[in-house]
Amino acid sequence: MEYQLLVALSHLGLAGNGASPHILAQLFNICEGTVENFTKRCILAIIESLENELVYWPNTQERANASLLAEGTTVFDKCVGFVDGTIFPFSAAPSKHKEDYWMRKMVYAVNSLIFFSPGEYI
């Protein structure tokens, strides 16, 4: 499992040709498809382990507290939270389904939508 994480972090953390499955496969002495599989498995494991803890709608008390924190600090009194979106650009086009990642900003990237409550940091 640690080896899979090492390969996945290398795949996600390197830029340019160094991040290609071909180069990483040679570096780690594995197949190119294995690089992709390790990366997918690690991403899914991270998402599944954090999802219940971090992805939820605040309960009644949390919404009331957030509303009080926002009061007087913005033009949105009684606001429960704020939503913002951003894109995370890739250093190169994905090898599969690259047309799905093409953005209006003329880069390959993924979209994100983030909700946060007043007084919290991302």
Do 20 and 64 lie in a common domain?
no
Do 119 and 85 lie in a common domain?
yes
Cα–Cα distance measured from residue 94 to residue 66, given in angstroms and rounded to the nearest whole number: 39
Domain that holds residue 6: 1-56
Confidence of residue 39 (pLDDT cuts 50, 70, 90): very high
Q: How high is the pLDDT of residue 40? A: 94
Do 67 and 20 lie in a common domain?
no
Q: How high is the pLDDT of residue 58? A: 82
Total domains in the fold of the chain: 2
Do 62 and 122 lie in a common domain?
yes
Do 72 and 119 lie in a common domain?
yes
Classify residue 38 as exposed, middle or buried by CB count within 10 Å of its CB (0-12, 13-18, 19+): buried
Do 48 and 62 lie in a common domain?
no
Least Cα distance to 6 among 47, 46, 38 occurs for 38
| CB-based contacts of 28, cutoff 8 Å, min separation 6 | 3, 6, 7, 10, 35
